Amino acid sequence: MIYLIILNKVVIGCLTQLVGQEGVDMIKNMPDGEVTDEKISEITGSEIQIVRRTLYILYENRLAIYRRERNKESGWLTYLWKVDLHDIYLVLEVEMRKLSFNLQKRLDFERNNVFYICEDGNRFLFDLAAEENFVCPDCEKSLIYQDNGQLINALENRLEKMQAVLEEYV
């Protein structure tokens, strides 16, 4: 079951953001059913620290579950883990909403401000540029007006696409 879900590039991207490439590689090689972290490390060839970190992150995002068993003789607890990616699309939705919110904030900032830039690419708001007499305080080169229309258009297009995806799937 994990293999079918993991083929989706968007899911792989989301998992990579959560657990890194080493974690994704571990998930791809996970055995089915409940298994200990030591066994996962042995089967996948991943270091035990990577396995534990990945499992805890997945658990925090409701993408893994565990069950505890107590050894009657020793009293030791054994944790049996299982990766369950059925809620991955909820995680994706939450991440898309966060990204959409941040893009909207950036779009508002770009729309509501005037920018000046120097030859080295240092960017300043109008107020700071005026305070510095339109001379870059870092490189001492002249600041020129920057038309951010293309950036605004790109942000608008990206937001429209994200909103369309969210509306279609939610």
Please give the tally of structural domains in the chain: 2
- Give the Cα separation of 64 and 6 in Å (integer): 14
| Of the residues 83, 114, 148, the one at which a domain ends | 83
Here the CATH number for the domain that contains residue 67 is 1.10.10.10
pLDDT of residue 146: 97
pLDDT of residue 1: 42
Please check whether residues 77 and 6 belong to one and the same domain.
Answer: yes
pLDDT of residue 151: 96
- Give the Cα separation of 105 and 166 in Å (integer): 18
| Of the residues 40, 63, 83, the one at which a domain ends | 83
14, with CB counted inside 10 A (0-12, 13-18, 19+), is buried
The more confident residue out of 10 and 57 is 57
pLDDT tops 90 at residue 71: no
pLDDT of residue 3: 46
Please check whether residues 118 and 47 belong to one and the same domain.
Answer: no
Provide the 8-state DSSP code for 140: -
pLDDT of residue 7: 54
Q: State the residue range of the domain holding 99.
A: 90-169
pLDDT of residue 169: 64
